[in-house]
Amino acid sequence: MTLMAQLVLLCLCASLLTEVAGVLQRSTSHAEAETTSGTAVSMGLELRVAEANKAVHKMAYFGQITVGDPPQEFTVVFDTGSANLIIPGSGCNTEACTSHRRFNMKASSTARRVNCDGQEVDADLADEITITFGTGEITGICVKDQICVGSACSQGDFISSLDETSQPFASFTFDGVLGLALPSMAQSKEFSMMSRMQSGSSLKKSLFSVFLSDSNEETSEVTFGAVKQEHMASEMFWVDVTGTSGYWEVRISDITIDSKAQLLCEDCRVAVDTGTSQLAGPSALMSSLRSRVDVKPDCSNYHSLPQLGFIIGGRILNLAPADYVDKMGQTCSISMMDLDVPPPAGPLFIFGIPFLQKYYTVYDPIASRVGFAVANHKGRTPEALLTFNPDLASAVAPTKPASFLSTLRANARAPLTAR
């Protein structure tokens, strides 16, 4: 890597990097923020909502990590759409850094400089890196130190910023981003948490799962090392990751409206991204979807809007109007944004937070696959997971929906029906 390497990252956390000020706290659950069971670690996540305008909201879930010895604590977005850890450094004196916690390398007995390709180097010769996002950029140094998510700790490389532009970083309510994409997206394997998870990990299983809720009645969490059946209201099915970009990317066979195929997809792919606050996709397809769904700005047809579904792995993953429409009083806007990712990474759909609040997801870097199940939310009756019949070009109801629920109840799992 050359000195001051210029990287233009088309990372899927771009929507977070356009977050506006005026953040409203929607959910804070620290009483159960961290639990450990054997070698599985669950970290509670906090939801913040920023109002972009009277109908559109930007959302972010973030949690705690520590870096260094003795540990220094930071709040980060656990982002499946990027692959590096980026936190402010003590040498950064811009407003974007001083308004957040900064990593003090001199205060850590285990920290040392490395090159930004992960290679060891004399500290006086170490390079720097500049990362350009959509509306700003970060310049930083690369450091190796202990990184801990709860009680799960490992030595890893990360970026400690020397300079951050005020826009958009000064408005963030979190300190940094912990990338959880596949290793090929990281600066090198030493920067990749997924690589560390695969080699020398003490976790029960080399995978992680994400449960996101918009309710104060339950705790959103990311769990490393385990799949939590109490978060599932259906069976889980697995889909292989496609491509080599590093995104948790799977194929979409087609898009459905009220479970009927629309013949919109020839080679559609979607990246599952915890760091994106909306649904997103190629502008041409987004335009077609908007016209077919036809959300009225005055919400006059809100209660008659259709289910919007995506056929993945032979199942239809449906979103109800409440999942894909931003509704604020009598103002409605479809929660979909245009995102034209150029080849070879694109064209690409993005499943952001609205999708991830509806579906519990599991990420398996060893088998390179993503698991999907209907999320089990307290006080809500879950929808059935439908199987797509290509001969009928429509959905078929599951044949044994009760067996899964009965098994969970027999094992004293959390109730899955409204109460």
Catalytic residue IDs? 79, 273
Contacts of 201 (CB under 8 A, 6+ apart): 152, 154, 225
Q: Is residue 252 helix, strand or coil?
A: strand
Q: Which residue's structure tokens are 């199940």?
A: 373
What's the burial of 86, exposed, middle or buried (CB within 10 Å: 0-12/13-18/19+)?
A: buried
The angle subtended at Cα 257 by Cα 311 and Cα 396, nearest 5°, is 55
Rounded to the nearest 10°, the torsion over CA 143, 144, 145, 149 is 90
Closest listed residue to residue 382, CA positions, set 400, 358, 363: 358
Q: Is the separation of the CB atoms in 157 and 187 below 8 Å?
A: yes
Give me the amino acid identity at 152.
Answer: A
Measure the CA–CA gap between 67 and 91, rounded to whole angstroms: 16
Quote the strand ranges of 151-264, DSSP E.
Answer: 152-164, 176-179, 208-211, 220-224, 237-240, 249-252, 254-257, 260-261
Closest listed residue to residue 279, CA positions, set 47, 11, 12: 12
